[in-house]
Amino acid sequence: MDEKTRNDLLKLFQGKLNQAMRFYLETCTRCGVCTEACHVYASMPQVRYIAAYRAEIVRRIYKKYFKGQGKAWPSVGESKELGEMALQELYDAAYSCTGCRRCMVYCPFGIDTQMIMSIAKLLLIGAHTEPEILTMLADMSIEKGRSLDLFKEGFLVGIKNLEAEVVRKWRLEAGETAIPVDVEGANLLYVALAGAHSIIPAAAVFNAARENWTLSFFEAVNFGAFVGDPAKTKLILERIINEAKRLKVKEVCICECGTAYRVMKHLAGKQPFTVSSITEVHARYIREGRIKLDKTKFTDPVTYHHPCQIARNGGVLEEPLTILRQLTNDFRDMSPEPKYNWCCGGGGGLVALGEDTLDFRMKSSTVKVDQVKKTGAKILATACENCHTQLSNLNDRYQMGVEVKFLTSMVADALVR
């Protein structure tokens, strides 16, 4: 690695050093309490998958360039030069971590490995060694925000084609629109994913609850966050913020996507609207009596996988249970303490990398498989696209014998007048 590249990368590193990051990089005592926290380690016990070991890969570079200790006495902390080899280690650490933050629950200090891995991801972008597909997807999202008019027409035609499906789930009164788009003054802006499965059931439930809602032009997922690029994360986020402001909505509701929810909820800053996940909105409709569900629709035992970014990291813990209590009499809790729930193994961009990471995702998530099997449930519900894909892959690979379903689609299927 030449001097200029290294200096550029160190500037990126420096940019990540805020107060919390310094805390995390200064403090680890390498006590090893986090050892059993990581689902990757629990499934494949290798030292490189321990949270403290991953973090130490970044910390060694920190010691070398940003700490007196690494300059005066490099061997004492095993500080390390930033070079090609270090980049490889950073890649292995960052892209075998799903950012679930389960280790943060174990650490006596609360060190956030996901945040430390964000340095690794940014350095990889700086060195152009990040997974290209994630950057491409992020760029596409940004481009869509820049040239909305170009794809607007096609989008509206596509949405029109879905309306019949929505009506099949929930019959409307004459003159009502099944999927309203671009409605100024609506109460709620629903930000979906690019896929009918994310729009049709949600639309049916909004209509059943007689919500004054409108569908966003943009998809919720933030590939900028997956690849760890703060600038792109912000650009992708701002498209939705600007749309919400333009339409003067009171609430932005994020579809079943963990990353999208956490980024919007925590990074949007103070805005004239509130941010909710669709799970929270559905639980509210049930509490307010705006929708009613048929408990006999699903007779098989149901369990629920708490998506990390929505539950442990987003605080939506009770709401899915409120919904499930109305959906089934046979709910099997896989994790009575949701903060200890095992990650599905697909977060942090791993599912978005598709086949490339499939083998690793399957091997690194056997603890999840055991956890699901233990419940004896036949329906595995969840509220995150990534989790759904990963759990479906696990179901195929390990013959778990469950049906993986989105919570929203279960709500839509069980709607009663």
Partner 1 sequence: MVYLAYAVFLTGTVARLIKIFREPRNPSTLQIYPERRPKWLWALHDTFLLPTVRRHKPLLWVFLMFFHVAFLLLIIGHLELLAEFKIFQVIPHEVFLGRGFVGLILSLCLLFFLFRRFKSPVRELSVPEDYYLLILLFLTVIFGSEMDWARRWYGYGELTVSDYRAYLSSIFLLKPAVPDTMMFAGHSFMMVLHVFFANLFIMFFPFSNLMHSILSLPMNKLRRG
Q: Measured on CA atoms in the order 192, 195, 198, 204, is the torsion positive or negative?
A: positive
- Do residues 360 and 324 lie in contact, with contact meaning Cβ atoms separated by under 8 Å? no
User: By rule CB under 8 A, what count of residues binds partner 1?
Assistant: 53
In 3D, which of 252, 238, 304, 307 has the Cα closest to residue 281? Answer: 252
| 115 or 324: CB nearest partner 1 | 115
The verdict on 96 binding partner 1 (CB under 8 A) reads: no
Q: Which is nearer to partner 1, 73 or 151 (CB)?
A: 73
Min dist. Cβ of residue 339 to partner 1 (A): 6
| Residues 37-66 interacting with partner 1 (rule: CB under 8 A) | 47, 50, 52-53, 56
CA 238, distance to chain mean position in Å, is: 18
Q: Is the dihedral of CA 396, 400, 403, 407 positive or negative?
A: negative
Q: Does 35 bind partner 1 (CB under 8 A)?
A: yes
* CA 64, chain centre distance (Å): 33
The answer to whether residue 261 forms part of the interface with partner 1 (CB under 8 A) is no
Q: Which residue from 1, 10, 12, 28 is in contact with partner 1, where contact means CB under 8 A?
A: 28
- Which of the residues 117 through 176 are near partner 1 (CB under 8 A)? none
List of E strands, 116-210: 188-191
**DSSP-derived secondary structure for 76-115:** GGT----SHHHHHHHHHHHTT-----HHHHH-SS---HHH
Report the residue number, 15 or 354, with the smaller CB distance to partner 1.
Answer: 15
Can residue 15 be called a binding residue for partner 1 (CB under 8 A)?
no
**C-beta of 237: minimal distance to partner 1 in Å?**
11
Segment interacting with partner 1, rule: CB under 8 A, options 32-40, 125-133, 151-159, 171-179: 32-40
| Per-residue x/- track, 334-373, partner 1 (CB under 8 A) | ----xx----------------------------------
- Residue from the set 7, 11, 32, 359 that interacts with partner 1 by CB under 8 A: 32
CA atoms within 13 A on the CB side of 407: 27
As measured in angstroms, the least distance from the Cβ of 29 to partner 1 is 5
Query: Which of 42, 58, 86, 111 forms a contact with partner 1 (CB under 8 A)?
Result: 111
Tell me the three state secondary structure of residue 123.
helix
Token digits of residue 316: 């939506």
Cβ(122)–Cβ(363) below 8 Å:
no
Q: Are strands 188-191 and 251-254 parallel, antiparallel or unpaired?
A: parallel
Task: Give the footprint of partner 1 on this chain (CB under 8 A).
Answer: 17-24, 26-33, 35-36, 47, 50, 52-53, 56, 67-69, 72, 75-78, 101, 104-112, 115, 266-267, 269, 311-315, 317, 338-339
